Amino acid sequence: MLVAGFLFLIGYRTKWAAIVLMAVLIPITLTIQVGQITTLGPLFKNIAIFDGLLFFVLNDTSNLLK
């Protein structure tokens, strides 16, 4: 997860780094955040992060550097 985050930060292989980060974020959100219905802030934060990563998966920005 740390390597994928760093690769995403520097813009190298953003699509694959975003996929790895999404694969880590989904189980964390489902196991920890969904059970706590009283605090929905972190759940919506994770949904927003997931949507941001999905944007980078669907719009491969690595072609801009070439």
Region class of 13: left (phi > 0), else alpha (psi between -120 and 50), else beta:
left
**Could you give the CA distance from residue 66 to residue 11 in angstroms, rounded to a whole number?**
12
**CB under 8 Å to 29, separation ≥6 — which residues?**
43, 46, 47, 50
User: Which ranges in 11-59 belong to alpha helices (H)?
Assistant: 14-28, 41-58
**Structural domains counted in the chain:** 1
> Tell me: the pLDDT tens digits for 11-27?
888 899 999 999 999 99
Query: What percentage of the chain reaches a pLDDT higher than 70?
Result: 91
Q: Which domain holds residue 58?
A: 2-65
Q: What is the pTM of this model?
A: 0.80
